[in-house]
Amino acid sequence: MSGYVSVATTTDGAERAGELARVVVERRAAACAQVEGPLRSVYWWEGEVRVEEEWRVVFKAPADRYGDLEAAIKAAHTYETPEIIATAIERGSAEYLAWLDEETRPR
């Protein structure tokens, strides 16, 4: 895995997505979060296909903070089984990546 990750999850409302983003960033498990939506999700759940409106929250962090980031998302999330998918950041500006390091450093 590269030194940095982008981690995505979804939730069921704009307000809840904003709160999830704020809580995780306040914990310094991620340096930042972007909220996107609404989007339409189609998925299997409890034996049936569901179609729901959701919002995506994308977090950025150093890869070595992934465990803390996943734990923070799970602790603040309302879904029983939230989507949590990490994608390696292959390249980024040195200044931005240094900022990710600085803002996720425990205080």
Residue 106 has pLDDT above 90, yes or no: no
Residue 2 pLDDT: 64
pLDDT digits (tens, 9 = 90+) for 19-70: 999 999 999 999 999 999 999 999 999 999 999 999 999 999 999 999 999 9
CATH number at residue 42: 3.30.70.120
Number of domains in the chain: 1
**CB–CB of 17/11 below 8 Å?**
yes
Q: Give the mean model confidence (pLDDT) for residues 62-83.
A: 97
Residue 1 pLDDT: 44
Q: Give the mean model confidence (pLDDT) for residues 88-106.
A: 95
Which residues span the domain enclosing 74? 4-103
Residue 107 pLDDT: 80
